[in-house]
Every structure is written in C-alpha cells, then in structure tokens.
Structure 1
C-alpha cells in the first residue's frame, strides 16, 4: 500500500451548523497563511495526499472535507439538497477561522475549483493566488428547462426519502479500490488501496460504505447561468492559474453540450490569468501526475 511521506493530522471545527473535518500538513507560521486545498464532488480531503507528498516546500497546508463528505458531519438533521452558495459560506467561515483577514493561497479541483473561483471573485481581498484545476462549472441551462428541472428535483428528494438514492457499498476495501481503478484506469493499485481506506469505511453491517451523503446525487433545482459566473470572474484580483489535463473530460461527460472551448471563453474573463496543461492525465490529475502538478502549483505560488 502507498505510504504517505507527510502524514496529516485532523482537526474539527464548527462551521455553519456542521462539524467540519480538516486535514493539516506542516506547521503554521506566524505571518504566513496556509495553503488551502478544496476537493471536488464525491471526493475527500485525503485525496490531496499524493500532491502534498510531492511538494518540495514544507509549508502549512489545510484541506477540508466539504459538507456531507468524509468526516464532516451535520450537527442536526441531514439536508436533502446541497447548494453552491453554501460551499461559499462554508469556505468564508473556514478562512475566518484559519487566517482571519490575511489573504490565502487557494487551490480547488473540479467542483472545488469552481467554488474556489467563485469565492475569489466574491471575496477578492481574501485570495493571494488562485489555482483552478478543471473547475469547469456546468453547461448553460436555458430558461425553458426550469419546469422540468424543478420537477426532477422534487422527484429526487422524494426518492431520497424512500432510500432509493443510496450510494453503493462494497464487501471490503479491495472492492472499493477496484471501483476507483475502474473509474480511473491510471490509478495504480498501491494508491487505490490507500485511497479506498480514506474514501470509504465499514458500516454497521460490515460493508465498506462511501463517505458521502447520498443527497449529493440530487439534481440542483436552480439552473446554471454562465453569465453570472462570468461577472464574478471579472472581479477576481488574484493571479490565477487554470490547469487542465490532456484528456478531455468535458467532451467525455457532456458529449458536445459543454466544451473546453466554451470553458476557456468563460474563464478568459479572469483579469490576471494563465493556463497550464498536465500531460498524460485525466480529470483526477492530482492522482495521475501528482509530482508534475505539485511542481506547477509551487512554481506559480512562488510567483514563477
């Protein structure tokens, strides 16, 4: 199994009604805020371990499990839906606790990359440097889709109440690892075995259950409007690095409904933007090429 070179330590913080789980690497330094890493949909904070291990600089790094993932748990009744503004609110409260008013370096992957980029436009003074790792957002949703989208949301929260949207579970950790390697054929067995034990845990029946709330599968009732995202992008003050992998994930997912060219047109509205490509990698680039990604991030954060 993979052996972490820089093991993390856990902390729990009360954030907006949630018991937020944070992973810390390195030691806090007076006057220097942490590097904050935020994961994507159906992922966990531990997923950053390979990148942290590959970094040359030993600085303080913090990665949260987003609400409803990993070991972050709700202090009351679990919600039946998740909304993008809540991720922004959680991140704002988290940065208050970690760094006060001091600007931080922020890296986000996938859904976390989209959230981080929106946050950098909503709170431009809070971000020193921003890295977006395939934080694409969503395809444009024309208004005529609204009735069907609301009906779909209602149907899915009803299905959730009936227990019809539960996540898959597995007989053992090896089954979880096989599932991870099926999703990402580049993932080697040693890393898959390690990730499986961070991504899932035995439940009361002894089966390995994914550490994610099934409510994350519920469709967002609100249509995505790229023109709103673009207006937020225009207000980003931090130097921003936009990283994509050589595999075209958007083409695979959306089959022409949303393309890399469309994403690049949107993100081009960020005032101080540069682009980078990670070769021989897919969407989970932090698993596929952690050494290359770590070097790219560190060089950018140093001002390179």
Structure 2
C-alpha cells in the first residue's frame, strides 16, 4: 500500500484487488467512520475526480474505485460487460466493509452502481445516482465518442499542451490532472477502444434491474445534463424507492462544475 495525495485535505491509501478474471481493480480509501461511502466515476474518468467530494464527506470512510479499464486499474480488461463491472465493485465492497455501504455513481458509474444495488442488495444501504438512466445510446454516438478520444494528439508534451488541445472546462481539467507521465510524454489513463466496448454493453436498457433496487435512492439530474425531461421522469418513475433532485446551472459532470449544489444534495441524503 502507498499513500496518495489528491491535493485535497483528505489522505488516501491506494489498494488493489485482483478479481476472478485476473483484472486488477485499484481503489483509494480514506479513514473515517462507517458506513463507508463508495464512489464510482463516469466513462473515461477515475476516482481522482471525486477526491473533492470525499473531502466534503470528511468524517466518513470513503472508497474511490477506478473501474476496470480506467485510472490505475487494468487498462485493457478482457471483459467489459456490465456484469464484470458490477462484480468488481461488489468484490471491493465485500473486501473493505462488513456492513452495507452508501454507493454513489455518476454516468457510467451510476449505471454500474444501479446494477450492484439490484444484484447485491445486501451490500448497499443507500444509493445515489448522478446523471443516470437505465441504459441507452446508439452505435453511432458510441462510435463518435471513440473517434473523439482517438483524435487526441497523444502523447501530450506537458499539461499546458494538454489544456491547449482539450480545453479548460471542468471535465477537460479533470482529464488533464489525471494524465499518466511516461518517457515520451503524457497519456490518458484509458484506451478509446475499451471505452467503446464498455459503452456497447450499456446500450441495452436495464429496466427490470432498476425496478428491483430496494435501497432508498436519490437520483440527481443537471438542468444542462445529458438527458431530456422525458428520460428523467421515466427513469425516476421506474423505481418506487427513488426521489429526484435537479441541480441548476449544472452539466452532466455536475460533481465538477456545480460542486456546492452536488455536495449539498449528497450529504443531505446520506445523513
């Protein structure tokens, strides 16, 4: 184990778990009281971007998981199915906690968290889903996403060059902060082809699984997020244990660009 600083007021210990198919799942743990809060990032992200959220949960034990194919976890896992992602999270929870946890996810991480709560109900006390749906997307949109990631001029010479290429919006800043330093320059901590394969398994909606989630659930949407009102309303209506909060002036990555409102919604629900 090694100490890892996220330039926040919270100190983390990074740990690794090798799961049944040989994938290494990396995660960071902060000290604090239970029940633990487990947080899952979105596509092409990592647990690092939720370090400020962990700081706002000071006093609670927080676990930031790098989902397979992301961050410090195995970059090119053989299995990118939804079952594999959910199994990884269940394995980490089982290894790190003897009691149910509060499970939080954003975007892809929210979809994973939803499935963990459906398939492993004894592991989840409360569930928070930021910018979530039962599934969806199109092959065309997924292909376009892959082309965007492949268009990055890798490697970046330095972080200033990365900012020039990717922009200075909150999500771009999170990507730049998470770049991996190699001998030839800076590289993202994900592979575009793995991202495309991962999203290919999210296309099929999981309405039956969503309806089976028994944990009290907070669904958080951004007014400038990914989903239209009809999608938001249909998703929340799909589970009788779900309540909804909308964040004004926020994007799909509300944990980055509407931090105070996001933390207020999260901490109020987890109390």
Q: Matches of 2:224 and 2:74 in 1, distance apart?
A: 34
Query: In the alignment, what sits opposite 2:216?
Result: 239
Q: Matches of 2:200 and 2:164 in 1, distance apart?
A: 33
Aligned with 1:284 (options 229, 253, 261)? 253
In 2 relative to 1, CA 166–67 (structure 1 residues): closer, same or farther, beyond 3 Å? farther
Q: Matches of 2:153 and 2:78 in 1, distance apart?
A: 18
Aligned with 1:33 (options 30, 35, 45)? 35
Indicate conservation of the 8 Å contact 2:128/2:219, yes or no: yes
Query: In the alignment, what sits opposite 1:71?
Result: 72
What whole-Å deviation, never above 9, does each CA across 1:209-241 have from its counterpart, x for those lacking one? 001123323345558333xx1211221111100
Query: In the alignment, what sits opposite 2:85?
Result: 87
Pairs aligned (count): 258
Question: Aligned pair 1:51/2:20, yes or no?
Answer: no
Query: In the alignment, what sits opposite 1:218?
Result: 196
Report the Cα offset of residue 165 of structure 1. 5.3
Report the Cα offset of residue 283 of structure 1. 1.0
3-state SS, counterpart of residue 33 of structure 1: strand
Q: Matches of 2:175 and 2:261 in 1, distance apart?
A: 20
Greater strand proportion: 2
In 2 relative to 1, CA 181–4 (structure 1 residues): closer, same or farther, beyond 3 Å? farther
Q: Matches of 1:166 and 1:92 in 2, distance apart?
A: 34
State the TM-score, normalized to the length of structure 2.
Answer: 0.83
Give structure 2 stretches of 5+ with no counterpart.
1-5
Indicate conservation of the 8 Å contact 1:81/1:218, yes or no: no
Structure whose alpha-carbon radius of gyration is higher: 1
Q: Matches of 1:248 and 1:33 in 2, distance apart?
A: 30
Q: Matches of 1:168 and 1:268 in 2, distance apart?
A: 43
Aligned with 1:274 (options 218, 229, 243)? 243
In 2 relative to 1, CA 200–140 (structure 1 residues): closer, same or farther, beyond 3 Å? closer
In 2 relative to 1, CA 103–215 (structure 1 residues): closer, same or farther, beyond 3 Å? same
Query: In the alignment, what sits opposite 1:4?
Result: 8
Q: Matches of 2:229 and 2:164 in 1, distance apart?
A: 29
Q: Matches of 1:242 and 1:180 in 2, distance apart?
A: 29
1:200-211 → structure 2 map (5 Å cutoff): 200-205=179-184, 207-211=185-189
Q: Matches of 1:67 and 1:295 in 2, distance apart?
A: 29
Query: In the alignment, what sits opposite 2:265?
Result: 296
3-state SS, counterpart of residue 237 of structure 1: coil
In 2 relative to 1, CA 18–298 (structure 1 residues): closer, same or farther, beyond 3 Å? same
Report the Cα offset of residue 248 of structure 1. 3.5
Indicate conservation of the 8 Å contact 2:105/2:112, yes or no: yes
What whole-Å deviation, never above 9, does each CA across 1:63-92 have from its counterpart, x for those lacking one? 111111111126xxx446622111011111
Give structure 1 stretches of 5+ with no counterpart.
251-258
Indicate conservation of the 8 Å contact 1:167/1:214, yes or no: no
Q: Matches of 2:162 and 2:134 in 1, distance apart?
A: 27
Q: Matches of 2:188 and 2:222 in 1, distance apart?
A: 26
State the TM-score, normalized to the length of structure 1.
Answer: 0.75
In 2 relative to 1, CA 215–45 (structure 1 residues): closer, same or farther, beyond 3 Å? same
